[in-house]
A and B are shown apart, each in its own frame.
Chain A
Amino acid sequence: MTDDRDRRDRPARHDIETPLSRATLNAARPLDVGSYPPTRKILPELCVMKIGGQSIMDRGGDAVLALVAEIVDCAKSHQLLIGTGGGTRARHIYHLALDLELPVGVLAALGAATAEQNARMLALLLAEHGGVYDETPNFFNVPALLRTGCIPIKPGMPPFGYWAVPGQSGRIPDYRTDAGVYLMAEALGAKRMIYVKDEAGLYDDDPKKNPRAKLIPKISARELLDARFADLVIEPVVVQNMLAAEHVREVQIINGLERGLLTRALAGEHVGTIIHA
């Protein structure tokens, strides 16, 4: 099928006729998608959790092992997918790359490896209970792993690498592991998204530096962005994405150093901070 509206003096375009074949995909107004069905949830029973790098993994030993024991229990009654953060080693290589005057894309490409290490460590700890390391960016092994009762463990960093877009300021990538795990949950239409960190939830400043920081048990994404807190427990792009998300309209941040909270959060209880769109 050729484009008959195209001028005759030019080589014809070999088109495939569909409603989109000549639609303007870059128009100011969004594409008219009214004739298409709504987006489906790919894995509607899935519970996605992110295990913090700096907050959990870098504590090593007892902190990680106690959490792993709780995950093993939870996996008996929930479909779990685990994503991992980077932590202090990611900060170390970011610093080296910044010192070498490298651009944001190089930092994003480097940061992925630390989250991969953490995912592999967790996969080894969970191996006897079905923990399986699953590479980014493939998703197509996840259903088989879930069906056989395994726990897929993926690095949290999104696969952008050198393709990370420069942000408003600085050279630290905007989309890091909080965002990477959130976008996995959103793409799969997950039931829950839980961030396992080392604080009771979201504060109006970094509680490790400001002892007067106040815990906020529940807040909307819009309110949170408007509040412009100096520091946040979660990457701001996660909150921005929530506003445009179709499936994961609520996330919970919990303290992974306190036993039982993960179990309760998976059961739908409010035990940390809930951010909702």
Chain B
Amino acid sequence: MKYTIIYDNTFAGFLSAIFEIYRLHLPVAGILSKNETPLDLFSELYSVETREEWARRVERAIVNQAGKNILDLLYCAFLSEEQGVENKLFTYIQMLFSNDNAQFAKNPTSLEMLPLLKLAQSVQREKHLFYGILRFQEIGENFYFAEIEPKYDILQLLANHFQRRFKKQQWVIFDSSRQYGLYYNLETVEVIFIENFKPPEKQDQFTSFWQTYYKSATIEERLNKRQFRRMLPERYWKHLPERQKAYSL
């Protein structure tokens, strides 16, 4: 009998699942987050509870085997939320812990690593894009708010950058498609949940400054819509004031 392992959708949950698999020697058919519907009729479901200490232990084991960079890479690949990424990660971790090949962790071109590497690169690329295209609005005295809808779950990866850059202003970054956000209170960044979220109406004068600037910075003689859409895909226009008109059309 094989088991489909169900975990709670977080990275710590996923690592706890790995821990349970090794602790109980479970034969694995697949790993699924609890939001997905299991399709495999021939395996039994097994729910794993999330325990921080288990997650830490698996993390430590990965770092010992392969180093911090690989752990970061696995985390980024996990954030892609791609269907079936858990199984790819599990295959990789299995190879890592199997000790069949001592050099395995150092080979970036192995068939287990390459898909994860590509996924992690996509996630990193989107994170970097959001360093740029995230837009704050001043909604109170020294209080700034930004709404984003990224393709991957990159919100956590943004915290450090914006904390370092805007350390003297309070800000909230809210991921409205995943319904959670980050709040920086001038000291630490904490995760917040807003129920019945409504975007703030107010627009300040810098929005119109920016729209004017954006319009006059375009060189008409060199228009290249294809390149433009490749650099700034349409799915990101919704929260960019300079693309508002194009978006509402």
Q: Do A and B make up one complex?
A: no
> A-side interface residues toward B, CB under 8 Å?
none
